[in-house]
Amino acid sequence: MSGNATSEQLPAVPSDITAEWLGAKLGQKIKSIENTHNIWGTGSKLFYTITYEDESSSKPRPSHVCIKGVFDPKMIEDQPWTVSLAQRESDFFSKIAPGLENMLFPKGWWSGQSEKQGIAIMDDLTKDGVAFPPEVASYSVDQVMNGVQQLAGLHAKYWGKSQDDHPWIWNNYDPAMKFMCTPWDDVVRQPGRPQLPEYLMDGTRCNEALDRYYAERNPRFRTLLHGDTHMGNVYVTSDGRIGFLDWSAFHFGSCFHDVVYHMTAMLTVEDRRAHEMKILDHYLETLHRLGGPKFDRHNDPEVMTEYKRSFMTNVIWIICPETLQSRERIAVLCERTVAAYNDHKVIDVILDAPKPAAAA
pLDDT at site 76 = 82
Residue 12: pLDDT over 90: yes
Is residue 340 within 8 Å of residue 206, measured between CB atoms?
A: no
pLDDT at site 7 = 64
Residue 4: pLDDT over 80: no
pLDDT at site 25 = 96
pLDDT at site 231 = 93
Q: In the structure, what pLDDT confidence band is assigned to residue 258 with cuts at 50, 70 and 90?
A: very high
Q: Where are the beta strands (DSSP E) in 40-87?
A: 44-52, 64-69
Sorted by where each starts, the structural domains of the chain and their CATH numbers stand as 14-128 (3.30.200.20), 141-359 (3.90.1200.10)
Residue 357: pLDDT over 90: no
pLDDT at site 359 = 46
Mean pLDDT of 48-63: 89
Mean pLDDT of 321-341: 94
* First and final C-alpha spacing in the chain: 48
SS3 content of the chain, % helix, strand, coil (to 5): 50, 15, 35
- Mean pLDDT, the chain, integer: 93
pLDDT at site 281 = 98
Mean pLDDT of 170-195: 94
Residue 2: pLDDT over 60: no
Residue 360: pLDDT over 60: no
Question: For residue 112, which amino acid is it?
Answer: G
Candidate from 27-31, 79-83, 356-360 with smallest mean pLDDT:
356-360
Q: In the structure, what pLDDT confidence band is assigned to residue 3 with cuts at 50, 70 and 90?
A: low
pLDDT at site 9 = 87
Mean pLDDT of 48-70: 91
pLDDT at site 260 = 98
Secondary structure of residue 46 in the 3-state scheme? strand
Can you tell me the distance from the alpha carbon of 284 to that of 274, in angstroms, rounded to the nearest whole number? Answer: 18
Complete edge-to-edge strand list for the sheet that includes strand 64-69: 30-39, 44-52, 64-69, 117-123, 108-114
pLDDT single digits (tens) 187-224: 999 999 999 999 999 999 999 999 999 999 999 999 99
Can you tell me the distance from the alpha carbon of 124 to that of 116, in angstroms, rounded to the nearest whole number? Answer: 24
- Nearest CA to 174 out of 243, 291, 254 is that of 254
Mean pLDDT of 332-340: 97
Distant-in-sequence contacts of 20-25, Cβ < 8 A, 24+ apart:
22/48, 22/50, 22/65, 22/67, 22/121, 25/109, 25/110, 25/112, 25/121
pLDDT single digits (tens) 128-162: 889 998 889 999 999 999 999 999 999 999 999 99
